[in-house]
Structure 1
Amino acid sequence: MKKIITMLSLGFAISAHANIEKQLDTIYANEKMTMALFFPSEIKQGITGSENFVFTYNREKEQNLGLLKAVKGNHSNLLVLTTDGKVYSYILQYAEHIENPNRFITLDESIGDAKRVLKKEVKSQKEAQKDSISVNASQDLLRRACEALLKLPQEENIRKKNGNVILSLKNLKYQGDNVFLQFEINNKSRVRFDFDYLHIFKVNGNKKRNASYQELALQPVYIFNEPERIFPNTKVQFVYVLPKFTLAENEKMEVRLQEKETTRGVVLNWR
């Protein structure tokens, strides 16, 4: 998380008028309900300060909706940057009961504008070296970490088969503020599998009991070697990198693999 915040501070800083002190509102969340936050503009980046709070948003197609969930733990904070350059900051707190799971953020709640500026502070050589890591460099680090993961021994073999298509989780590694998930698709059929999507969720409850069932989509920060198609009798391995997350007592992971324009798909679950 420190690396992400450092990278964010590199490219952006709050403009002068945002230096006026502004009391931050508190947003409450828990593991039972999903708090939906609707911002005036599409979300560009969102960061929480503690791992017991998880903030997700669509990283592939910019949208103004963000989803917040939490497990019991210390207070934290949420920092959100929107595509129009506005910055929003809130205190996060766990609450057993939430009266309204929806909040529409107004423009006047912004604490300032994000603009590219040069750092005026004199920093040590070590600090300057850390801050010089660009977004492209961080992507390169993730790419190399994924390449290294694919060369490691496989420590997991959680698999689910649907017809002649098998989806497996081969490795799950925590590294810093990220979780690396190594997947394998084994197409044992005689027909090519055209990859559409692979979605990852934290799930609480049972679908057969709709009142108690909840799911939270986890958006990857990086995807490595994702296939477009898997030819007959062929295996393909790839890696999804997610922000670090935790599972509550009654939660489990669910991965949904789907093929384009067909009903072929696999749902993989694990705890």
Structure 2
Amino acid sequence: MTTRTSLRARRTLHVTGAAVAALLMLSACSSSDGTSSGAGPSASGPAKLSGTVTVFAAASLQESFTALGEQFEKAHPGAEVEFNFGGSDALAASITSGAPADVFAAASTRTMTIVTDAKDNASAPVTFARNQLEIATLPGNPDQVASLEDLTKPGLKVVLCDKTVPCGAAAQKALDASGLKVTPVSYEQDVKSALTKVELKEADAAVVYKTDVRAAGDKVEGVDFPESADAVNDYPIALLKDSRNAEAAKAFVALVRSAEGQKVLTEAGFLKP
């Protein structure tokens, strides 16, 4: 299941943005300094970005990309960012079926390949972050889950992401490496759905990403497990070649990869690429 979100429909977040300030200063200098030695028309400054940028992004990126979208709109008042968050595989299928999008950010290189291999649909992807798994339990960890093996306890209601989506594939890799078998009460189509089962107390535990546990706050408790180090997912981002707003899309990708973008992602719990 995917979630479409337009940033204009929400209150602006008060996020500090050194990169945004730098962009605004650069724009002001470009428009006022007619003595620039650059080859372009410095007196008029760079072309103003406008229109909508449609970003298809893995569900685990929802909080950090929403914050970056707010920053992008502050830096470019004429532009709007619209997000479609969901399971990476479902998003990839939508893109290859012709859904209009400008940028794709996936939770695994395998999922990105689905798009890049389909009639050369995207520019060369670049890894911008990495993510590691963690066990989410009920607050206070009443079932005393301390390891991946504990998820095999009889009567424990465990939720996993479907094996076809990145979080599920990573969880299965960790389980296989440990020789463990978990029979979940359900397989979910994206990591947020898996986490929600625990938040609603419909499950006792779920294998999700560290970033999702952090975003949930006190609604869940996180449990690290060493096997997760062998199942870390790379997150690639790419500009789609049939983008209807290529210049603005390039600028958004640049923000994600910038020092400010990396700061937002690191604070959300993502690992550096």
With normalisation by structure 2, the TM-score equals 0.24
The structure showing larger relative contact order (alpha-carbon pairs under 8 Å, at least 6 residues apart) is: 2
More strand, by proportion: 1
More helix, by proportion: 2
With normalisation by structure 1, the TM-score equals 0.24
